[in-house]
Structure 1
Amino acid sequence: MLLRKHLEDGRISKIEQLGLDRLINMEIDTIGPARQIVTKTLIFELTGRNSNIIFTENEIVLDALKHISKSVCSFRQILPNNVYNTPPEQNGASFIYADPSGIVENIIKQPAKNVMQSIISATTGIGKFTASEILYRSDINLDTVSFPDEKKNRIVQVLTDMQDNVKAHSLERLPVYGILTQTNRMNTIVLAKPLHLDKAKFLIKEFPNLNTAINYAAKLVPIQSPEKDILQKAISSVLVRTEKKIAALEADLKTAENAEYQKIIADTLMSNIYLIKKGLTICTLNNIYTNEKIEIALSPILTPVENAQVYYKRYNKYKRAVEEINKQMQETNDLLEYLQSLDTSLQTATNKTEVAEIRQELISEGIVSENKKGKNKTSLPKSAPLSIPLSNETVVYVGKNNRQNDFVTFSIAKPHDFWFHTKGFPGSHVILKTSLSKPTAAEIATAANLAAYFSKARNSSSVPVDYTEKRFVKKPSGAKPGFVIYTNQQTLYVTPDHSSIENILCNHK
């Protein structure tokens, strides 16, 4: 009603995006009481769960879809009659206009947990999807931690090509590409055909222009999510929470590891107690261990001795906290690794039985709740791992979930059979059994290829795959399903050959 009151008979005079931010300003001209033109603005802040629509006139908020008070955000309040302030600007280089070499230098300087996060932090206009595409085209694994210097020229060229593509679209109507999910939703629309997507999960559809793609997306009727997608969403949600917990624990650990400095301050205060008077808020003293000057914050209501005791107590608290935080870090990292293995198993599951086993595992771990209505359903038979004969003497077994992984490793495999698994990526346990004295190099390469294909790194190149004899693979007491430790391994680097693997799978169904 508010918009109808203010904007009825209005005319849209301008629509603009604020830089490369997800902010759209729509200016609407209306006729004022004195028959003059009055411009009012609808501001669309398309920022995920914090999205908002704000109605302003002369930069004063008339109203908003969501009111943001000081208790919610101290930086900016969105309330009627307040001055409208835009969200904080991003500090990165413009993905479209900045020099690609400069962008790469910014990426290298970013203190992020991996190269993908560095790309996102160093730029504006790049999200996870585009960053993944840049890495794929630059032949860099998505989980690479530090920037590989030998790929510097390659990523510069990829960024240059992408910028040229954006500029070409601004000059003439060129095709765009819609990314459709298995549930018949338009995930996103991009200017260049993406190469990094898993074709089993997404359909890439070409459109003559952006408007046609948007109209097509608006008419799509979503398909109800099957069980597999529901479980995938549940795992993804827990993964995000777990990653946030790890980041918070790392910050806490950084603070707690400062324990020794608290003791140094306390010792320095006690050694110079006669120089300090009550009522000071800060003092500068010589560090009794290094003789360097240090500034020490004090409470004016405490005596010098009481201030020293505060630092001693903080030292003891931090020291105790380090042990507890390290313990929680280990538990949380183990959980993250386990969740990633479940996520990968779900992606490679091909039938109801395999999905049901993963669901049961999620229920036992408390990640999803049991459906009470389904308690009396007929139980499905246990799923079997893939069995692929390579010759009359040699067979490969592939576990496609954690239960199958334990089964192929500790029930099917004999001590001298070869065991394969991707290094640093969750994935399947692969067993290579042969009646010959030892498998051939080609058979080892095929088993490594299968291990890379049935892993999180299936769309990457130069994937490290460890292999060793099964006798060197152990399961720690109390470990989660699918978790093992191993020694005496060798490492192969393979790029999964999807066409040859799919041929192998088709021939041995």
Structure 2
Amino acid sequence: MKGMIFMPLDGFAVCHLHRELSEALVGGKINKIYQPEKDELVLNITNQKSKHYLLISANNNHPRIHFVESTKENPDSPPMFCMLLRKKLTGGIIANIRQIEFDRIIELTIISKDELLDVTQKKLVIEIMGRHSNIILIENDIITDSIKRINRFVSSYREVLPGKDYIYPPMNKADFNSLSIDDFNARLKLLPEQKIEKAIMDSFQGVSKLISREICHRIGIDTSSKVSELDEKSLDLIKKSMENMKAHPKYSIYKDPDSHEIKDFSTVDITFLNDMEIIPYQKISPMLEDYYLLKDSHQRIKERTAAINQIITNKLERNYNKLNKLIEDKKNAEDSDKYRLYADILYANLYSLKKPVKEAVLENYNDGSQISIPLDIRKTPAENAKKYYEKYNKAKRALTYIEDQTQKTKEEIYYLESILDSISKCDSVGELREIKDELSEYGLIKSYKKNKKISNNELSSPEMFRSSEGFTIMVGKNNKQNDTLTTKTASKDDLWFHVKDQPGSHVVVKTSGKTPGSNTINEAAMLAAYFSKGKMSSNVAVDYTLVKYVKKPKSAKAGMVIYTDNKTVYVTPKDNEVAKLRDIQST
């Protein structure tokens, strides 16, 4: 939505997180430590008979720390940093948790025993700073190790390496909590020509653009006003507004009112976003888990599919080039009739061709015109005629081969485009695993080690919707899902939908012996268009038929079917319409 601002974990969010974590974890015991991602930890902590899972992420795009209810699949072999933490921190007691000034840094103090059973104090520092985020283990102010090692070539200010002294990130801004009202105002006045919205961000720790804009909105000043244009009363109100935000948190996720897509979150009441759909939360961790569950998952999937996407794109490019060459070869082969004509005319005029020439101008017996025939002076007229007959026959044989290869290449292009379409719709590790299994099976990527712990219950499932008439609509998200949905899940009298002549999802309306109305047919067709290569187009053609008329040819690749007895409808896919069908399903 226009005007939205991405909300990072700013100082206010970290402040409220610090309060929540301290209440739940101080005095708690660290039981287990996992590292499901290269930049992410999960700590299993027990305190007063309550078990907590604490997620700590140093991801460049979504750094954070909060409690989680669901955890990710862990790698078969733990990374080195995870093994170090297990050795140093397992069994340790969390003695203290603090926020460093009002910045985005949280420090856990942990009391544990070393190999000699001596009690030692260690610190786990979580720096939540975008691409500079890190998780650092410290003993006696010396870095033991970190989840990201930073050398002098990356940062000239400080190195984050084992054995180095730990230095806090540069703090060039002030903690507003420690300033008197006069010092606060004086700090702002150091930037007289700066716009007030940016001056607040540049002067004080932990203030995001969203918070700064909300401060201006609450006290009624224009965000573009210069600091020098504001009176003392307005400057006083800025600090009072920040103190009020800290004292009265309000946890909310903001959604687009039309598409219901999650856009933002905040730990304070953002009054200028009241036109958004607002979902309130009692605690900060559930809000962050819900928000990042989608955002972080999409980012992780995007990272993991980048290499596969490149492989498929390269193969597609080669097939496009091959198809263009085949089209050119076909055109040349279709011109081969002239070679037979040359040969026929040469044989008819052998008596008149006595001397070797590079070109013979003879009468075309078809229309009486003159025709020029190139000749090889090293051959006799009869040999030249024979050469043209051979070229004609070779071209005819090539035409059959070219047509066969053209069909196979078009099928390969369609299949590869279907894989790209599946990747674009992939939003879970299970779906990504199925795509990789399929590509490995067909030799498009190298075989990889599969996790034997995965059961059939953990495989991904088609996405479920409900039509306005109450019919269940199932949408396959990849070729394996499509195969299972069409050939096993669907009944013969269910309705089957697919975008016409483009890669896309198989969509099935479960009829349960009833006849769907036009609304359900249009809604299912809209879903078929939305989950296809034609998502961004208008007036998309979608075919539909009964499942009993859909057949999977023998030896066909995953997701490939043929169908008959179909009808066609034309629809325009819309985000808000898809969201409505999701909402009906969830109620």
Find the aligned partners of 1:244 and 1:290 in 2 and give their Cα distance. 39
TM-score, with length taken from structure 2 = 0.47
Which of 376, 380, 390 is 1:303 aligned to? 380
**Pair 1:247 & 2:324 matched:** yes
* C-alpha distance in 2 between matches for 1:344 and 1:482: 12
The aligned residue for residue 230 of structure 1 is: 307
Q: Give, in angstroms, the shift of residue 392 of structure 1.
A: 8.4
CA distance in 2, matches of 1:324, 1:426: 26
Deviation at 1:376, TM superposition (A): 5.9
- 1:393–1:436 CA contact under 8 A, matched in 2: no
Structure 1, unpaired ranges of 5+: 1-199, 201-221
User: After superposition, where does 1:263-302 map in structure 2 within 5 Å?
Assistant: 263-302=340-379
**Secondary structure of the corresponding residue to residue 226 of structure 1:** helix
1:363 paired with 2:440, answer yes
1:291 Cα deviation after fit: 2.5
Q: Secondary structure at the match of 2:482?
A: helix
Query: What are the Cα deviations for residues 351-393 of structure 1, in whole angstroms up to 9, with x where unaligned?
Result: 011111111111222222224xx35664473211112233685
Partner of 1:431: 508
Amino acid at match of 1:294: I
Structure with higher Rg: it is: 2
Give the equivalent residue in structure 1 for 2:431: 354
Which of residues 493, 499, 508 in structure 1 aligns to 2:570? 493
Task: State the Cα deviation string for residues 215-234 of structure 1 (Å, max 9, x = none).
Answer: xxxxxxx9996122221111
The one-letter code sitting in structure 2 at the alignment partner of 1:324 is Y
Residue in structure 1 matched with residue 333 of structure 2 by the alignment: 256
Q: 2:404 aligns with which of 323, 327, 340?
A: 327
Matching of residue 441 in structure 1 with residue 518 in structure 2: yes
Match of residue 482 from structure 2: 405
Whether the 8 Å contact between 1:277 and 1:303 is mirrored in structure 2 is no
**Superposed CA offset, 1:4-25 (max 9, x none):** xxxxxxxxxxxxxxxxxxxxxx
Q: Which has the higher contact order (CA 8 A, sep 6+)?
A: 2
Q: What is the aligned partner in structure 1 of residue 92 from structure 2? A: none
1:477 correspondence with 2:561: no
Task: Please say if residues 393 and 434 of structure 1, whose CA atoms lie closer than 8 Å, have aligned partners that are also in contact.
Answer: no
| Per-residue deviation, residues 240-294 of structure 1 (Å, max 9, x unmatched) | 1101100001111111122222111101100011222343111111123333321
Asked if 2 retains the 8 angstrom alpha-carbon contact of 1:417 and 1:433, the reply is yes
Structure 1 CA distance, aligned partners of 2:304 and 2:506?
24
Q: 3-state DSSP class of the match of 1:432?
A: strand
Partner of 1:468: 545
More moved, 254-263 vs 267-276: 254-263
Give distance in 2, aligned partners of 1:489 and 1:252: 35
Distance in structure 2 (CA, Å) of the matches to 1:332 and 1:384:
31
Aligned to 2:465: 388
The answer (yes or no) to whether the contact 2:507–2:527 under 8 Å persists in 1 is: yes
- Whether the aligned pair in 2 keeps the contact of 1:267 and 1:288 (CA below 8 Å) is no
Using the alignment, how far apart are the partners of 2:452 and 2:491 within structure 1?
A: 36
| Deviation, structure 1 residue 344 | 0.7
Q: 1:416 to 1:479 in 2, by over 3 A?
A: same
- Contact in 1 for aligned 2:469/2:519 (Cα 8 Å): no
Count of aligned residue pairs for this structure pair: 287
Q: Does 1:416 align with 2:493?
A: yes
Matched residue SS, 1:387: strand
Structure 2 Cα separation of the partners of residues 493 and 297 of structure 1 = 55
Give the alignment's TM-score, normalised by structure 1: 0.54
With over 3 angstroms needed to count, the CA separation of the structure-2 counterparts of 1:436 and 1:226, relative to structure 1, is same
- Paired with 1:314 and 1:385, the residues of 2 have a C-alpha distance of 54
Distance 2:301 2:410 in 1: 33
Matches of 1:225 and 1:401 in 2, distance apart? Answer: 16
How far off is 1:330 after superposition? 0.9
Preserved contact between residue 468 and residue 581 of structure 2 (Cα < 8 Å): no
Q: Contact 1:393/1:435 (CA < 8 Å) preserved in 2? A: no
CA distance in 2, matches of 1:412, 1:376: 25
Q: Measure, in 1, the Cα distance between the counterparts of 2:451 and 2:521.
A: 45
The one-letter amino acid paired with 1:276 is: L
Deviation larger for 497-506 or 336-345? 497-506
CA deviation vs aligned residue, 1:405-449 (integer Å, no higher than 9, x gap): 111111121121111000111100100112353001111111011
2: distance between equivalents of 1:276 and 1:300?
A: 12
CA distance in 2: counterparts of 1:375 and 1:314, whole angstroms: 53
Contact 2:301 2:427 in 1 (8 A): no
Give the Cα–Cα distance (whole angstroms) in 2 for the partners of residues 392 and 257 of structure 1: 55
Change (3 A) 1:250 1:303: same
Instruction: State, as a whole percentage, how many aligned pairs show the same letter.
Output: 39
Give the conservation status (yes or no) of the 8 Å contact 2:497–2:544: yes
Please give the secondary structure, in 1, of the residue aligned with 2:439: helix
1:471 aligned counterpart, secondary structure? helix
Amino acid at match of 1:275: S
SS at match of 1:327: helix
Tell me the amino acid that sits aligned with residue 343 of structure 1.
L
Greater Cα shift, 300-309 or 227-236: 227-236
